Amino acid sequence: MQPYIGVSTPPIQSTQITSTSNATTTSTSDVLMTGMTVTPIAGTYLVLFSAVVQQNDAGNSATVSIYSAGVQDPASVRDFAPFDGGTLSAVNASCVCAIQGVYTVNGSQVIQVEWHVSAGTGTVFQRNLILIKIG
């Protein structure tokens, strides 16, 4: 089979935002995770987010999700909570968070990661937000 003559494949367009500085929140409603926002050109993107998240209050949680054009993607919601107490309690246990999804934006819409805690303080450590244009 011969390749298509005269047709070129455009290079993959991607964006990566990385932060290694710690960020914290005590907000009980969603707020922007420090540094995790981008306004890509119009198109459809595979969005990949990963981070190390910690919640310092046993029995309470930290919740992370992706927003596109100001709307939370319910399928992206990830909830993390340390043990509820007892002999093996692990308050301040860190969890690895990984979220992915496909989002279409018009060139002026933001893709961002937001988070909140149910109580106490949440801390996020190393984190990456990667967008790969697929359409």
* pLDDT (0 to 100) of residue 91: 63
The single-letter DSSP state of residue 89 is: -
* pLDDT (0 to 100) of residue 104: 97
Nearest to 76 by CA among 106, 56, 102, 94: 102
Could you tell me the CA-to-CA distances from 45 to 102, 104, 112, 129, 131 in Å, in that order? 5, 6, 13, 12, 6
* pLDDT (0 to 100) of residue 18: 94
* pLDDT (0 to 100) of residue 1: 45
Nearest to 126 by CA among 24, 50, 56, 65: 50
* pLDDT (0 to 100) of residue 12: 61
Query: Please, what CATH class does the domain formed by 14-83+91-133 belong to?
Result: mainly beta
pLDDT, mean of each 10-residue run, the chain (135 residues): 50 85 97 96 96 85 96 95 57 84 96 95 95 94
Residue with tokens 């969603």: 30
Q: What ranges do the domains of the chain cover?
A: 14-83+91-133
* pLDDT (0 to 100) of residue 90: 57
Q: What is the pTM of this model?
A: 0.86
* pLDDT (0 to 100) of residue 107: 94
